[in-house]
Amino acid sequence: MEISFELWYLLPVSILIATIAMSSGIGGAVFFSPLFMLALKLDPIVAVGTALLTELFGFLSGLNYLPHGEGRKGKTRI
């Protein structure tokens, strides 16, 4: 399998978008949809769906902290 660096710039742009989305409290799909339409030239329907799916996986990764007791009554279980 050959490695292609054609879309290398998407990693730093995605990190920047995720940082802006997390710090502003706005869903990442708002920022990722235009990125998918402009950089990957996806149709708007597909771009919005892909952005929502990306946001969903980010949300689900945050659920990892729920069973550990993070944020409940100020106590942390280890």
Q: How far, rounded to the nearest angstrom, does the alpha carbon of residue 21 sit from its chain's CA centroid? A: 8
> What's the pLDDT at 63?
75
pLDDT reading at 77 higher than 70: no
pLDDT band at 75 (very low <50, low <70, confident <90, very high): low
pLDDT above 90 covers a percentage of the chain that reads 33
Q: Regarding predicted confidence, which is higher, 69 or 28?
A: 28
Structural contact between residues 55 and 32, judged by C-beta atoms closer than 8 angstroms: yes
Ordered alpha helix ranges (H), the chain: 10-24, 28-39, 44-62
